[in-house]
Every structure is written in structure tokens, then in C-alpha cells.
Amino acid sequence: MHQQIDHPCVQHKLAIIRDAETGHKRFRELATEITEFLCYEALKNVKTKKVEVRTPLATAICNKIDTDLVVVPILRAGVGMLDGILELVPTARVGFVGLFRDEGTKQPVSYYQRFPPQTKGGTCIIIDPMIATGGSTIAAIDLLKQAGAGQIVVICIVTCHEGLRLVEAAHPDVAVYTASIDAELDDNKYIVPGLGDAGDRLFGTSH
């Protein structure tokens, strides 16, 4: 299952973050802002519990999140989305997964993984600005499931039909939330029109 978030505020920010003239400082700010909106949607059905809260006037019956949340950025670009989620759910724990593509097999290979202990019934949120071929996303989901993760959702800023099809075929139980489903991949496997290299644009390492 996937969902494109078409809220005008999301789409307005997406227009700015796509712009080649947007510098790395503003790009990081926009990645955080867009991620907050996407996380808001992705967690709209998260489990809550009733609690009593004493207001200055009386006791109120309120709802608090009752789900163990673990956020997992895919290194390195996923780190640029982390603050956006932690703004909404600051008690979430954070894991990391690093992947590179083997030039011989063209398959993703894990070079680093560090996950908090997985709680049964909890929710893991994988974050990466772009799902292009889908290979890294599938590999990250595989690793989390091997580590005992229960429910997994993926949040990305931009993806494409090809990548979504592969992720959903490999893991039909994982929902993907995105700001845009773009048309295609070019010969270099970049999403078109996309954002360019999200990692370079986030951290100012582009030439």
C-alpha cells in the first residue's frame, strides 16, 4: 500500500525543495518540514491509550500514543529527515542502517546496522528521501524483519512507480508514504524529475 500526500502545504514545499537553486541549508529545513507532514499521516492510526490529565479546572480524559516507535534512517540521506520525525515523536528510539550497491551483483549490501531492541506490537519507520530502484528500501525492511520488527512503514519525499512496484511486491504488508510519485528513472537510475542527489543537496557535498 502506498499513499501520496497531496496537502497544499506539502506540495508547496516540494516545489521549493525540487528547485535546483535551493541551497543545502534551505533543503535541510524543507526536508524536515515535509517529513513532519508525512509522519503526521503515517502515524494517524497509531495505537493510543486513554489517560487522565489534571487541567487547572478539572480532570480530562485524553489520548496518548501507546506504541513503541523506532525510527530508522537509511544512511546517509535518511539522517536529513530524522529531525522531522523527532519533532513529532521525541520519545521515539532511533536505529540506523547503512547500505551500498555491489557493482558486480548490483544488489544492496549492508555495511552498518544498529537497531534498538524491537518491541512486539511496535512500529518501525524507515526514512529515506528517495525510493528509486527500491533495492535499498527492500534490504532495510529485510534487515528490520530479521531483527524482529513488527509493523513497518516507509516515509520518503519522492519515489517513482518502478521502485514502488518492487517494494510492494517484496513486502506487501509495508505501507509507503510519500510527497510525490514521479514518472520514471533515467539511465543512471535517478528519479525524474526528482530532487537530484538528495544526500549531496542535504549536506552540501555536491560540486
Grid coordinates standing for 135? 533495492
CA 91 to chain CA centroid, Å, is 17
According to the model, what pLDDT value does residue 86 have? 94
Instruction: Give the pLDDT band (50/70/90) at residue 102.
Output: confident
- Could you give the number of structural domains in the chain? 1
Q: For residues 23 and 34, is the Cβ–Cβ distance under 8 A?
A: no
Q: What percent of the chain has pLDDT over 90?
A: 69
Grid coordinates standing for 176? 509507503
Range(s) of the domain holding residue 110: 2-203
CA 15 to chain CA centroid, Å, is 19
- What span, in angstroms and rounded, lies between the C-alpha atoms of 96 and 115? 6
* Beta-carbon count within 10 A of 196 CB: 16
Q: For residues 124 and 156, is the Cβ–Cβ distance under 8 A?
A: no
Q: What is the CATH number of the domain that holds 71?
A: 3.40.50.2020
For residues 133-137, average pLDDT:
91
Lowest mean pLDDT among 6-10, 79-83, 186-190: 186-190
| Residues in Cβ contact with 184 at an 8 Å cutoff, skipping those fewer than 6 apart | 160, 161, 162, 191, 192
According to the model, what pLDDT value does residue 200 have? 85
For residues 138-153, average pLDDT:
91
For residues 102-120, average pLDDT:
79
